[in-house]
Each structure stands twice: as structure tokens, then as C-alpha cells.
Amino acid sequence: MPATPPRSKPMNFLLVHGAWHGGWCWRDVAGRLRQAGHAAWTPTLTGLGERAHLLDASTGLQTFADDICAVIECEELDEVVLVGHSFGGLVATLVADRMAARLKQLVYLDALIVPAGQSGMSILSPEVRRERSRTIDAEGLRMAIPSPDRFGVTDPVQAAWLSRRLTPHPLKGYTDTLDLVHPVGNGLPCTYVAVTDPWYPPLAGVRDWARRQPGWQWREIAAGHDAMVTSPESLTQLLLDIAS
């Protein structure tokens, strides 16, 4: 009988969602990772998704980093492949600044990356800042939900799924400055994955910056901004390729 091919060593994937989303958006990717024999965690950040009721005036970038660091601590994780999507890139950067020794590598999936001392809002174009500022609620706590097509989701079934689950995003997460002790990535292997079908215009400057970083990998995927929703099979294979 032919020998059975050796199974790859199980890996720990920690998937951080973007603005307006929740851990639910990783459903199809996490399921595929687990079917391949790996572990996948998909926490929801405070104030979003099923945790939207926990939002208060203090909910911001440090809260989100606390959320992810707590998962690493409570699940006793090591060698973590930390994936930050979109706004989740800010969270991943903060977690790496605190807990690099527990991480294997960082994957920025069409993600927002800002220099220390700046905020997610500050690096967006004036047009995008004005657009998002107009969506802030009367309490000054939340930004209203964009339509699914803004995330590259146009399939009616997928768009309806997003519309039922997206929640207003805590404004403070976008206005808090990124306070770092170490350079972005904290010396970890970093890969930036850019979507190409279609490109996501708000991140054009971030992509240019990521491509210039020495030692960083650059990958592309023919999917919309919410690649985990529109192209879960392709994204799963790409994540496994990067991680291995």
C-alpha cells in the first residue's frame, strides 16, 4: 500500500474582523481551516456583532487589543498566525506590539495600517473622512453601517447575510491614536494581502506603504474587500500557503 502523506502540523489561526463586522464573518474560512486540521478562533470585538450591547464611551482601540490578547491568554495560544482584516489590521498591530512572543506571523488582509501616533481616521482621504463623519450617531459613539457593496459584496444572498449581521462601528476605535512601543509588526514575519476584484479605494495609500516595507511579503487575491465572504475557498488556501 502507498504510504499516507504526512499531515501538516496543526496551526493556530486567530482571525480578527474589520469595522462593522463580527467574528461571524469568518464562518466559511474558519470551517475550512478546521476541516484541514488546524485551529481557528474568530472572536468578536467589544461593541460589535453579538457584543454590540457592550459598547460605551470608553470602547476603543485599546479595548479591541485587550479582547484579542485575552483570547491568546485564556486559550493558552502560541505560534499564532494573527490575521487582521481591514480595520482589524490596527488591532493586529497593537496585539503584536504587546505579545510578539506568542505569535508566529502577521497577515494583513486588505488591512488598515497606520504609523504610531496616528489614527485610523487620520490617514483616510478627506473625502472618506467627511463621508464617515456624516454617519456618526447623535451620541457620538457609532458610525452607521455602509451597504454591503462597499465591501465588494454584490451577490444578493451574501449581501443579505451581511445586512442582517453588520452593526454600527464604535467611533472611538477610528479616532484613537495608535500607541506603539515597537515598529509596526514588532519584528514578526508580515504579509500584506491585497484584494483586486475590485480594489478597495480607501486603502490605496496603505497598500503603497506595505509594498515598500523591507522583508514583508506581498500577495494578492482576486476577490472583493470582504474576501472571507465572497471567496472563502481561495482565501483559506492563501492563508494556509502563507502560514506554512
At 50, the amino acid letter reads E
* pLDDT for 107 beyond 50: yes
Active-site entry in 58, 86, 125, 234: 86
pLDDT per residue as tens digits for the range 137-189? 989 899 999 999 999 999 999 999 999 999 999 999 999 999 999 999 999 99
Q: How far apart are CA 238 and CA 234, in angstroms?
A: 6
Average pLDDT over residues 36-49: 98
Domains observed in the chain: 12-243 (3.40.50.1820)
Cβ-contact 141, 57 below 8 angstroms: yes
pLDDT per residue as tens digits for the range 11-37? 999 999 999 999 999 999 999 999 999
Which pLDDT belongs to residue 125? 82
Told to judge if 86 belongs to the known catalytic residues of this protein, a careful annotator would answer: yes
pLDDT per residue as tens digits for the range 53-103? 999 999 999 999 999 999 999 999 999 999 999 999 999 999 999 999 999
Q: What is the mean pLDDT of the chain?
A: 94
Which pLDDT belongs to residue 204? 84
Which pLDDT belongs to residue 2? 43
